[in-house]
Amino acid sequence: MRPVQVPDLSAREVYAACISKTRPKVKARLQALTEDVVNAASEFEVAASAADLHRLIDLKTNPTDESDRAQLTKNYTQRLTNKDHPAREIYDELKIAGRLCPLCAHRDVETLDHQLPKSLYPLLAVVPLNLVPACRSCNTLKSDADPSSAYDQTLNPYFDDISKEQWLFARVHEVAPACVSFHVKPPSSWDEVLAARVLWHFKVFDLAELYGNQAGRAMTSLRYVLKRKAPSTIPAYLKDEADGGADEDPNSWKAVMFQALANSSWYINGGFALE
Ligand SMILES: [Zn+2]
């Protein structure tokens, strides 16, 4: 859940690039839909910035013609993503805006995720603000999810920036070997909708499992590191690692893991060594 700079690309120019090489008959039909696409993009921008995507119901039935809907979808599947199509450079530009997948903040960006699925909202198939850089796992996990209220809208990294405050926390489990689990604790400054959305996002993208697995691996290595340290130096070492990681990203699983370990007297006083 990392913010991404809003792309400097208009819906009109991306759409024009996508339909530029289509056959004359198809092109004429797609050109006739240009203003519908531009208007849909404006509606999407307003709704996405207000967690109002569930109100864009009218976009689902526009256009009504099945062949028009199919051609709009092909703008993404056969044109924007096609390595031999001139619009492909736009796809690559959108992808490169995020190094790490902004949805999980862990894996590499490999594709673009439609915030509102192209299968249901064909007018938004190549609208830049609806195309979020993502890893394949996040793209697959979200699939064709369609929000039914403000509360079940996953975060859009162009509009939602929750990187400044800590909302991710971990709990140490006093077992052998030691492990941590992750959870969302919304800051008091968040409103009810944002808190619900982040909890939903955390659930949809299985982030508790992803971060828990990563932490499990990291803690196996950490056990050997800590065993070689003088016991009196362990608290400061864990705190340094937590603070260093939090400087870069207070919600990185690693920084949060070190924070939880640094706060656990059970872990510091020998829990770390249990196998
Ligand atoms: Zn991801």
List per-residue pLDDT tens for the chain, 275 residues long: 889 999 999 999 999 999 999 999 999 999 999 999 999 999 999 999 999 999 999 999 999 999 999 999 999 999 999 999 999 999 999 998 768 999 999 999 999 999 999 999 999 999 999 999 999 999 999 998 899 999 999 999 999 999 999 999 999 999 999 999 999 999 999 999 999 999 999 999 999 999 999 999 999 999 999 999 999 999 999 999 999 999 999 999 999 999 999 999 999 999 999 99
275 C-alpha vs ligand 1 centroid, how far in Å? 31
159 C-alpha vs ligand 1 centroid, how far in Å? 17
222 C-alpha vs ligand 1 centroid, how far in Å? 25
Supply the pLDDT for residue 96. 86
61 C-alpha vs ligand 1 centroid, how far in Å? 30
38 C-alpha vs ligand 1 centroid, how far in Å? 28
268 C-alpha vs ligand 1 centroid, how far in Å? 32
270 C-alpha vs ligand 1 centroid, how far in Å? 35
212 C-alpha vs ligand 1 centroid, how far in Å? 15
3-state SS string for the chain: CCCCCCCCCCHHHHHHHHHCCCCHHHHHHHHHCHHHHHHHHHHHHHHHCCCCHHHCHHHHHCCCCHHHHHHHHHHHHHHHCCCCCCCHHHHHHHHHCCCECCCCCCCECCEEEECCCCCCCHHHCCCHHHEEEECHHHHHHHCCCCCCCHHHCCCCCCCCCCCCCCCEEEEEECCCCCEEEEEECCCCCCCHHHHHHHHHHHHHCCHHHHHHHHHHHHHHHHHHHHHCCCHHHHHHHHHHHHHHHHHHCCCCHHHHHHHHHHCCHHHHCCHHHCC
Please state, in angstroms and as integers, the Cα–Cα distance from residue 132 to each residue in 111, 155, 168, 235, following that order: 8, 10, 22, 40
Residues with CB under 5 A from ligand 1 (ion): 101, 103-104, 107, 135, 138
Supply the pLDDT for residue 1. 82
